[in-house]
């Protein structure tokens, strides 16, 4: 069983980096890169051999519900691949980017702790350990947001820490209520006892979790911390925050709780629809009016999270498929766009679109890949963003929710407007840029090219044969909420 290695490898690498890395960061780079590559290989291998089965690892061989369990199902495998992919490209990108800021091993140790926390959240089958791993990831994220040491970064990290602490308190209160009502922390056992609980208790505890996890996912109106944190953090950390962290700590945790534990109650599915639609429109509007490139991308993350929430709220197999595929797609194209923004900031020393111009000659790779990422997030065919949004819109129409379908289309138009603004002023402006302060190295370019290629090729996941192996088992985990409980408990 390789499941514990997803926690052990990044945690051990963080320890070794702290132990042996000195003033030079060569050991830190080597250890973190090896760990990142190992996790990516293991996650892909797990997804291939998992074959739709649910595997349970009992820590210390203690049986459920006494012992702590790690769970690997199709959703777990997909999320591990996603986290490992974005982590590896971010590490590759970081080598030059962080050297440009400061050669310091502490960055890589914190990065691996961030990965440890996210992987732990994904594979744990225990609510309290879910909370513990969330805190590991959050504490690492707070430090990484402030890594540059500037006043705005400290302010953003402080705001993120305050909102993160509030969300954690809410999640902990929700866990305490469920434990007092069920006398267990194992999610599968809680799911078994949910039908016998007072509906009023489920109503209130569901609301508490919605506020707590909604803050972590940056859903409207719980999004206030996100624009500052994502725009102030180093570019590879912005990619991690927007690409995977808000999805793992927010959306993934919500999926596990509301689908696999609470059984997808209709009330909260409707709330997902409403909050998702609000996030799509307001996030899109706020992104259009931004002139700071990273802040524009940060607000667009709020909008794109709205699509995932709407897809989940529909509750049909097609809606869930669209939500899961958009979650995967958004991680790829949003990480790419933050890499592009970081490269431009490093080369020009600014994030202000009004101070940029035509970058095609001096930064051809960054300029070309930013166009790919922009087309993908705007929902232009044949890129992955178009496919995932189209599935969600069709699912809304089939579910007799044409108003939400129209709002989804409007949101996509707003996103297109924001991306056109970024391209018009940031990459293809009237002022031709002939000189940059620092050349973008092959590592940063490789990370951008890899994700740009995936923006196109990831659509192949929906081809017959591949879809049945990669995505349909994930949809099955959510479409039949009781399946998780039965498979984990072995019934």
Distance in angstroms between the alpha carbons of the first and the last residue of the chain:
21
Q: Which two tokens stand for residue 463?
A: 């081809």
Q: Could you tell me if 190 and 127 are in contact, meaning their C-beta atoms sit under 8 angstroms apart?
A: yes
> Consecutive sets of 10 residues in the chain, 491 residues long: mean pLDDT of each?
92 92 79 95 91 81 79 93 96 88 82 96 94 95 87 87 92 95 92 90 93 92 86 90 93 94 92 96 94 93 95 94 95 95 90 88 92 94 93 96 95 95 89 82 94 93 87 89 79 51
Q: Which residue bears the tokens 């009502």?
A: 181
At 406 the pLDDT is 96
At 51 the pLDDT is 74
> How far apart (Å, rounded) are the C-alpha atoms in residues 335 and 297?
10
**Left (φ > 0), alpha (ψ -120 to 50) or beta: where does 52 sit?**
left
Q: Which of 196, 14, 226, 234 is nearest to 118 (CA)?
A: 14
Q: What are the distances in angstroms from CA 1 to CA 61, 70, 120, 216, 263?
A: 13, 10, 15, 30, 28
pLDDT tens, residue by residue, 247-297: 999 999 999 999 999 988 999 999 999 999 999 999 999 999 999 999 999
Residues forming beta bridges with residue 72, ordered by sequence position? 55
At 479 the pLDDT is 86
At 63 the pLDDT is 77
Q: Which of 68, 72, 37 is nearest to 55 (CA)?
A: 72
> How far apart (Å, rounded) are the C-alpha atoms in residues 311 and 391?
9
> How far apart (Å, rounded) are the C-alpha atoms in residues 436 and 367?
14
pLDDT tens, residue by residue, 33-47: 999 999 999 999 999
At 447 the pLDDT is 95
């Amino acid at each position: 069983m390789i499941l514990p290695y997803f926690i052990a490898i990044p945690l051990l690498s963080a320890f070794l980096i702290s132990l042996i890395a000195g003033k030079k960061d060569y050991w830190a780079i080597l250890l973190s890169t090896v760990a990142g590559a190992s996790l990516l290989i293991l996650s892909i291998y797990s997804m291939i051999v998992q074959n739709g089965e649910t595997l349970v690892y009992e820590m210390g061989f203690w049986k459920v519900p006494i012992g702590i369990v790690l769970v690997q199902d199709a959703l777990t495998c997909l999320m591990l691949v996603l986290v490992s992919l974005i982590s590896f490209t971010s590490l590759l990108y970081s080598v030059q980017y962080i050297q440009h800021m400061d050669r310091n091993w502490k960055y890589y140790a914190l990065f691996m702790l961030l990965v440890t926390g996210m992987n732990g959240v994904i594979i744990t089958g225990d609510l309290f350990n879910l909370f513990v791993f969330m805190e590991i990831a959050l504490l690492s994220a707070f430090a990484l947001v402030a890594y540059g040491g500037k006043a705005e970064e400290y302010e953003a990290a402080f705001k993120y820490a305050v909102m993160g602490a509030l969300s954690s308190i809410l999640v902990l209160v929700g866990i305490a209520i469920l434990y007092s009502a069920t006398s267990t922390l194992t999610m599968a056992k809680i799911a078994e006892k949910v039908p016998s609980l007072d509906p009023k208790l489920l109503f209130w505890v569901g609301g508490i979790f919605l506020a707590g996890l909604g803050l972590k996912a940056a859903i409207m109106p719980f999004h206030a911390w996100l624009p500052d944190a994502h725009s102030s953090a180093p570019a590879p950390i912005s990619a991690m925050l927007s690409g995977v962290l808000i999805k793992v700590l927010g959306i993934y945790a919500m999926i596990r709780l509301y689908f696999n534990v609470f059984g997808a109650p209709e009330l909260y599915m409707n709330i997902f629809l409403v909050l998702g639609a609000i996030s799509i429109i307001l996030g899109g509007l706020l992104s259009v009016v931004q002139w700071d490139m990273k802040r524009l991308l940060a607000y667009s993350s709020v909008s794109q999270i709205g699509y995932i929430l709407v897809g989940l709220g529909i509750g049909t197999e097609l809606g869930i498929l669209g939500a899961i595929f958009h979650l995967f797609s958004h991680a790829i194209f949003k990480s790419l766009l933050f890499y592009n923004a970081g490269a431009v900031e490093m080369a020009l020393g600014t994030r202000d679109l009004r101070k940029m111009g035509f970058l095609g000659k001096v930064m051809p790779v960054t300029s070309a890949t930013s166009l790919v990422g922009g087309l993908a997030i705007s929902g232009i065919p044949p890129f992955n963003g178009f496919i995932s949004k189209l599935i969600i819109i069709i699912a809304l129409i089939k579910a007799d929710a044409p108003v939400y379908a129209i709002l989804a289309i409007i949101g996509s138009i707003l996103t297109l407007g924001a991306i056109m603004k970024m391209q018009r002023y940031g990459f293809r402006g009237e002022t031709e840029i002939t000189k940059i302060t620092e050349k973008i190295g092959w590592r940063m370019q490789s990370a951008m090219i890899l994700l740009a290629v995936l923006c196109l090729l990831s659509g192949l996941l929906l081809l017959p044969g591949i879809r049945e192996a990669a995505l349909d088992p994930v949809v099955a985990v959510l479409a039949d909420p009781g399946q998780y409980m039965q498979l984990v408990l072995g019934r």
